[in-house]
Amino acid sequence: MEISADLVKELRQRTGIGMMECKEALREAGGEIEKAIEVLRKKGYARAKDKMSREASEGLVGSYIHMNGRIGVLIEINCESDFVARNDDFKDLVKNVAMHIAAASPKYIVPEDVPAAVLEQEKEIIREQFKDTKKPPEIIEKIVQGKLSKFYQEVCLLDQAYIRDDKIRVKELIASVIAKLGENIRVRRFARFEIGKS
């Protein structure tokens, strides 16, 4: 059975689960959304969204050194228990997110971390690009919001397309590990160092 992209998108929006998992669940459910949600719940994915609000105070500090020592990343990722922090899937996640940071060079974790001054400057740049187009101000503001979404995908870690699978975002990668391990997981902080760059 062919599953439409719109159906996958709707299921994804309702559950917060990655595209591939949603598509597979829809296949199993014969294209019915409610049954697909049930399939995901049985597999533990749908519970991931509920777990994201729980306290995460254990975890690991991981590191990744790339290109013969020219780029280095330190990252702290938290989970709920020491038991999960020692789990291989969790350790792999820490390593993979650190590698992603080395390659994709995000500046912030989530859009809420972007300083107001940086956001205002970005909005001003976008408005300047459209000031001579004779578009009404409300249309320009819609364009600004759309372009800000793209800006977040460039500079915010969780909104970036994951370097090892660009069909998912980093936040979806983390959600899939939350579903697998049954605990909240969150990126607390990171630092990226590159020779010659401040």
Provide the domain count of the chain.
3
Domain CATH code at residue 94: 3.30.479.20
Q: Is residue 85 part of a domain?
A: yes
Range of the domain at 71: 58-109+156-194
Residues 148, 71 share a domain: no
**Which one has a higher pLDDT value, 191 or 8?**
191
Q: Dig out the tokens for 70 from the structure.
A: 């020219």
Instruction: Name the percent of the chain in helix, strand, coil, to the closest 5.
Output: 55, 20, 25
Residues 82, 11 share a domain: no
Q: Is residue 51 part of a domain?
A: no
Q: Is residue 50 part of a domain?
A: no
Residues 189, 169 share a domain: yes
**What is the value of pTM for the model shown?**
0.71
Decide: helix, strand or coil at residue 31: coil
Neighbours of 182 (CB within 10 A): 13
* Segment 84-103, tens digit of pLDDT: 999 999 999 999 999 999 99
Residue 60 has pLDDT above 80, yes or no: yes
Q: What distance in Å separates the CA atoms of residue 162 and residue 168, rounded to the nearest whole number?
A: 6
